[in-house]
Amino acid sequence: MARELHCSDTGMQCDYIAKGDTDDEVMDQAKQHVMSTHGEAASAMSDQDRSKFMESARTAIHDTSVHDRQ
C-alpha cells in the first residue's frame, strides 16, 4: 500500500506530492523536496522549528489507496 504526503498539508503553498511505499521513503523524498524547493523557508527555521515541521509532515502522511484505483 503506497503512502503519500501533500506538501500543502505541511502549510506550504505548493502542490508537490511525495510518494513512497513506506513513511520513511516518503520522508526522504519530502526532505529533498523541501531542501531544493523550500530551501529558503527551511534555512530560516531554527533547528527546533525544523524538527517540529518534519514531525508534523510525518503525521500528515496518508495512504494513497483511495486515489489509486486504476
| Residues at the contact surface with Zn ion, assessed by CB under 5 A | 7, 12, 14, 16, 37
Cell digits of residue 48: 527546533
Query: Is 37 or 64 the residue whose CB approaches Zn ion more closely?
Result: 37
CB of 70 to Zn ion, least distance (A): 25
Task: Supply the minimum distance, in Å, between the C-beta of residue 62 and Zn ion.
Answer: 16
Q: CA-to-CA distance for 51 and 43, rounded, in angstroms?
A: 12
Q: Are the beta carbons of 23 and 3 closer than 8 angstroms?
A: yes
Pick the closer one to Zn ion by CB: 36 or 48.
Answer: 36
Note whether 56 and 44 are within 8 A (CB): no
